[in-house]
Amino acid sequence: MSVVRQRFSIIPAMAVTDARLEPRDLQVLCLLGRHTDDLGWCCRSQVRMSRELNCGRATVQRALGRLMDAGYVEYRTNTRTSGADAAHDYRVVIDPPAAKATENTAQGVPTGGQGCPPIDGHRVPTHERAPMLTTPVKREERDARESEDEEDHADDSPRVLERRVKRLADQLRWPGWAKSSTAWTVAQFAALSADERAMAEERGAVYLSHCGRKALSLGVYFRERKFLDLPENVLKAAVEADLRKVAAPFGKLWNALRFAELFGPHAPLPKPSAFIEKMLTEGGEAAERMRRERIAAHGWPRVNDMHRAAESRRGWTVNASDLWLEDAAADFEQVKAGSELWVAWRQYHEQRGWPWLPDGPEWVWFPAGGPEQLGEFEAMINRQKAEAAE
């Protein structure tokens, strides 16, 4: 038996009686809580956690998913220079802003097993939501494949190369990626040597920051080896400064990024209930109000994520490709909560079906001139986004 050096595990107390969580979820949460720093962060490998808890890695992944859905855990990805996945950073959230723990005082916390039994298969789960769907041998084989997949960073197979390309495009929000051919872009990436691929990934953010709206598509960036053409002073400056920037909640850059999201089309909405669908079909003032409320609640998930982070006084990480918004927000003005202009902005959001700001801030930076002048700012943002996508 290994000796555990940690004497305490710091976790949110409400998680203990949260009926949404299963016993294994609490084990994973306590394991993370043993290693967190003063800000609640720690770096842990899922493979190592599964070994410490004597369960499969898939079990740990499902537990982390439930903890994140409930608001008790946040994470950020890490990658090696080769583009392979590295152990993630996890943060235990002591006071989840959106987590309303569902107390299960009548039945208590389930004591019979959870989503997947331990690898040895001796303790079969008895919780009604957790049937044993695979045999211990099959689980061992599956978890072994997953562990091998985590370590295949040296693999040059098309599957791995495609994953690296997509990760780079998504992380940096590469301009024009939505209109690019994935197969052609991966082919250009595959044509590079292993060292060139690593360099292309490392310098992607530097390239976007340096070129701004003139940045080429990701495939052309690979094909023409633009990562080799960056000036020395630009590379030196990139080493000295992190190109990603955290926008302070309710500040200029934060609200500029927020408006840039809202100016785009909203995401597909979930299917309404039969009652709401009937109301929308009948039309009228109530139906129009319901339509706007549904769009505000589901249409811009990234904006709602920004709001939830701001509620707990956390900023929002802005990628290099979006830092041009700092210049766009240079003329923003502060608006006091509850003022006449504040009310005008809130009403304008309601009219357009946009989610309104969370409660809390006394001052927020908005485009100058009030809602009446927003059309000019919106046209400028959409024009620059269109140019960047070309």
Between 14-18, 101-105, 224-228, 311-315, the lowest mean confidence (pLDDT) is in 101-105
Tokens standing for 145? 């494949």
Q: Bin 311: left if φ > 0, else alpha if -120 < ψ < 50, else beta.
A: alpha
pLDDT surpassing 70 at residue 33: yes
Q: Does 119 score more than 80 pLDDT? A: no
| Residues 91, 74 contacting (CB under 8 angstroms) | yes
Q: Quick check: 253 and 325 in contact, CB under 8 A?
A: yes
Query: Measured in Å, how far apart are the chain's first and last C-alpha atoms?
Result: 60
pLDDT of 277 reads: 87
Return d(Cα 283, Cα 262) in angstroms, integer.
25
Contact by Cβ (8 Å): 358, 311: yes
Residue 316 has phi, psi (to 5 degrees) of -130, 130
Sign of CA dihedral 318, 319, 320, 323: negative
Alpha carbon of 283 to those of 142, 280, 291: distances in Å? 52, 5, 10
Residues of the chain with pLDDT > 90: what percent? 37
Task: State the Cα–Cα distance between residues 224 and 188, nearest whole angstrom.
Answer: 9
**At residue 120, does pLDDT exceed 50?**
no
* Residues 63, 22: Cα–Cα separation, whole Å: 8
3-state secondary structure of 168: helix
H or E element at residue 207: helix 204-211
Give the list of residues 6+ apart from residue 183 with CB closer than 8 angstroms, or none: none
Helix (H) or strand (E) holding 334: strand 333-336
d(C-alpha 67, C-alpha 315), whole Å: 21
Please give the Cα distance from 9 to 36 (Å, whole number): 9
User: What is the rounded average pLDDT of the residues 267-295?
Assistant: 88
Interatomic CA distance for residues 375 and 373, integer angstroms = 5
* Mean pLDDT, range 330-345, rounded to an integer: 94
Q: What is the band of 383 on the pLDDT scale with cuts at 50, 70, 90?
A: confident
Give the per-residue pLDDT at 323.
83
Dihedral of the alpha carbons of 256, 257, 260, 265, in degrees to the nearest 10: -140
Residue 240: per-residue pLDDT = 53
Average pLDDT, integer, range 256-280? 91
Q: What is the pLDDT of residue 10?
A: 92
Q: What is the pLDDT of residue 255?
A: 95
Alpha-carbon gap, residue 84 to 78, rounded angstroms:
9
Residues in the chain, total? 390
Least confident range of 54-68, 73-87, 352-366: 73-87
pLDDT tens digits for 193-243?
Answer: 988 998 999 889 889 988 988 899 999 999 999 999 999 888 877 665 545
- Round to whole Å and give the CA distance between 53 and 73: 18
Mean pLDDT within 338-350:
95
DSSP H or E stretch at residue 75: strand 73-76
> CA-CA distance, 253 to 32, in Å (whole number)?
33
CA-CA distance, 176 to 390, in Å (whole number)?
6
- What is the rounded average pLDDT of the residues 102-109? 44
Q: In this predicted model, which residue has the larger pLDDT, 374 or 317?
A: 374
d(C-alpha 86, C-alpha 5), whole Å: 25
Give, in degrees to the nearest 5, the angle at Cα 88 between 84 and 29.
Answer: 150
Query: What is the structure's pLDDT at 174?
Result: 94
Q: Is-contact 367 259, C-beta < 8 A?
A: yes
CA distance 125 to 116: 7
Q: pLDDT tens digit string along 125-152? A: 333 333 334 444 444 554 544 444 444 4
Average pLDDT of every residue of the chain = 80
